[in-house]
Chains A and B, each alone.
Chain A
Amino acid sequence: MSRRVIVFLLALAAGVGLGLLYGWVINPVQFVDTSPDSLRPDYKTDYVLMVAEAYAANGDLAWAARQLEDVGGSPLLVAQQAVLQAQKMGYAATDLQNLARLAMALQTRTPVPLGTP
């Protein structure tokens, strides 16, 4: 291999290394202005739990569904995923009940697609 190629490859590697150093150490990515749908699953589950707690008190399903739309996906799907995540994380029984009630209420509210005849 010629000396030119070696120098080129070394410089290329140095360039990539410098880029990584800059991007990961000197000026790492700052997460700002994110939306609830990007939250870590445990934070997202707690977000849904807050909605479920409030729904248990005010009974306003339309309000609850609007809050869950921020989390991404259909409110029903978000609530169901939260139930599963909460079970996995060992949430208290009361919290699980609130989440399940919200999911069930959304299930009733959401139109069910008709099956094929």
Chain B
Amino acid sequence: MSSARVVWIALLGLILGFAAGLGYSWGISPLKYVDTSPASLRSDYKERYRALVAAAYQADGSLVRARARLALIDGGDSASALAAQAQRSLAVGDDPRQAQALAALSAALIASPASPAATPTMTPSPTLGARVSPSPIPTASPTTSPTSAPPTVIQVTPFPSVTPTPAPGAPFVLKSSTQVCDPKLGGPLIQVQVTGADGKPVPGIRVDVAWDGGEDFFYTGLKPDVNLGYADFAMTPGVSYTLRLADGGQPVRGLAAIDCKTTDGSSYPGGWLLTFTPP
């Protein structure tokens, strides 16, 4: 038998073998996805998974368990993924409770970082241990955020027209309001900072804002890169806003973009920083 003929026969065998393999794997016994892990879920299912983890965390308060579950899909930075999803959830008009739950879990993860020894395994355990008290509930803010913490205040001017009296029983009252001129913010913002009696930022405080022809709300805590008690809202120049904390606080009226000037004399709109503390 000539060597050329042997090569052709071998080639034919290879091709037929390959075809047989394909026929078996595609036709007779096609691939079925079974026994997969949450890490392989499609992105929209991962978002539902995160929302479920957050809902379960709200119910049972177990941060250990929530962290273990999130590690199955996010690996490391679950807090950022949760905060981003919370903002998306608000933006598309999902149930606000979902955004609130996502942000609460995000804030809790940031407030209580995992120790290396507590790194969860990749298999969920039905007895994932210690129950941790739920953290205060934070949530969403619909605007873009400044990139550093705390909020930058370039120019500070007392705000003469805003001197509300504390509402009886209100958990937070306006402590100060300052004008903010900072071109790096990218536009005029109402920045809200809520601080507790212990001086720590308080996440999960709903902030209602209204203007002629519209209203919106947002929550502190959804921009953990600034701090957990921070939230902001993008103002439209020329529009006057009224803001109040949802928990019975006095309204802060007349918030409008201010006129700021750069060093070369050109003008740009600035915003406000409102600080709330317990009375």
- Asked whether A54 lies within 8 Å of B58 as measured between CB atoms, the reply is yes
Interface stretch (choices B15-23, B197-205, B264-272): B15-23
Contact at B53–A50, with CB atoms within 8 Å?
yes
Binds A, one of B29-37, B176-184, B224-232, B245-253: B29-37
Q: How far is the CB of A101 from chain B (nearest CB, A)?
A: 12
Taking a contact as CB atoms under 8 Å apart, the answer to whether B36 and A15 are in contact is: no
Contacting B1 at CB < 8 Å: which of A4, A43, A53, A54?
A: A4
Q: A89 interface residue, CB < 8 Å from B?
A: yes
Is the CB–CB distance between B17 and A14 below 8 Å? yes
Cross-interface CB contact of B59 among A3, A23, A34, A56, cutoff 8 Å: A56
Contacts of A90 in B (CB 8 A): 126-127
Of residues 5 to 31 in A, which have CB atoms within 8 Å of B's CB atoms?
Answer: 7-16, 18-20, 23, 29, 31
- CA–CA, A40 to B22, complex, Å? 26
Which residues from A are CB-within-8-Å of B33?
A: 31, 34, 38
Interface SS of B by simple majority: helix
- The answer to whether B52 and A11 touch across the interface, beta carbons within 8 angstroms, is no
What is the total number of residues of chain A having a CB less than 8 Å from a CB of chain B?
Answer: 48
Q: Are B14 and A11 in contact (CB under 8 A)?
A: yes
Which residues on the A side are within 8 Å of B56 (C-beta)? 49-51, 53-54
Cβ-defined contact, B40 with A32, below 8 A: yes
**Does B10 sit at the interface, judged by CB under 8 A?**
yes
B126 touches A95 (CB 8 A): yes
Report B126 CB to chain A, min CB distance, Å.
4
Which residues of the partner chain B approach A15 to less than 8 Å between Cβ atoms? 13-18, 21
Contact assessment for B59 and A91 in the assembled complex, using a CB-CB cutoff below 8 Å: no
> Which A residue's beta carbon lies closest to that of B16?
A12
Q: How far is the CA of A46 from the CA of B52 in the complex (A)?
A: 11
**B13-A10 in contact (CB<8A):** yes
Min distance, Cβ B188 to any Cβ of chain A, angstroms: 38
CB-defined contacts of A51 to chain B, threshold 8 Å: 52, 56
Bound-state CA distance A40–B122 (Å) is 12
Q: Report A92-117 residues with CB < 8 Å from chain B CB.
A: 92, 95
The interface residues of chain A lying within 8 Å CB-to-CB of B17 are: 11-16, 19
* Cα separation A35 to B126 with both chains bound (whole Å): 22
CA distance A17 to B31 in the complex (A): 19
Beta-carbon contact of B14 and A14 below 8 Å:
yes
Closest partner residue, chain B, to A36 (CB atom):
B45
Chain A residues within CB distance 8 Å of chain B: 3-4, 7-16, 18-20, 23, 29, 31-36, 38-43, 45-47, 49-51, 53-54, 56-58, 67, 70, 86, 89-92, 95
Q: Which 4 A-B pairs have the closest CB atoms?
A: A15-B17, A11-B13, A91-B126, A57-B59
Q: List 13 A-B contacts (CB under 8 A).
A: A8-B9, A12-B14, A12-B20, A15-B15, A34-B33, A38-B34, A39-B36, A41-B35, A53-B59, A86-B126, A89-B126, A91-B127, A92-B127
